[in-house]
Amino acid sequence: MARVRGPSSARYEFGGVFDAPLPFVYRWCLDYRPDDAKLSGEKFERKILDRSARTVVYEDLEEGEGGWRWSRIVVTKRPPNRWHADIRGSHRSWSLDYELDALPDGRTRLRARGVRTRTAIGEPNPSRRTLERELREMWEHYGRALEKDYRTASRRR
């Protein structure tokens, strides 16, 4: 009988720079919405379960090869520039720390570090290079939407 290998964990880091001030970026990043998948070109369905001054709890559901992929995400806000996300899902779990830094030119840097653990039915963790590239690309999509929203908000003032 073949031995089944247990879940494995891997550490990843990613980030980006946004052309918007830190307070706006912080609010925007923590304003989770059911239509967030559109911002990154993904196809998951999101349901917001709870939102308070300190936490946001939501679930994502996505159809994939071999069935549905589900995740429950609990976000803990740490104002004015940090937040933590615990993600438990059918195919993987994450523990992620996000931090924003104000840059002298009015822009904001995002830094994120996390540990990804696959579940027994999940695929092996991708290589560090592959997943970090995918995460950077996803945040580039979010960044374009964030900067567009900032420009719109700035014109209204």
Q: What is the pLDDT of residues 109-146, one digit of tens each?
A: 999 999 999 988 888 888 889 988 888 888 898 999 99
Residue 19 buriedness (CB in 10 A; 0-12 / 13-18 / 19+): middle
Give residue 41's pLDDT: 77
Neighbouring residues of 7: CB distance < 8 A, sequence distance ≥ 6: 117, 118, 119, 120, 122
Give residue 123's pLDDT: 85
Question: What are 67-76's contacts with CB under 8 Å, separation 24+?
Answer: 75/30, 75/32
Pairing of strands 45-51, 9-18: unpaired
Q: Please, what is the end-to-end C-alpha distance for the chain in angstroms?
A: 68
pLDDT grade for 7, boundaries at 50, 70 and 90:
low
Q: What is the pLDDT of residues 72-107, one digit of tens each?
A: 999 999 999 999 999 999 999 999 999 999 999 999
pTM of the model: 0.88
Domains annotated on the chain, with CATH: 9-156 (3.30.530.20)
Q: What is the pLDDT of residues 17-69, one digit of tens each?
A: 999 999 999 999 999 999 888 887 778 899 999 999 999 999 999 998 888 99
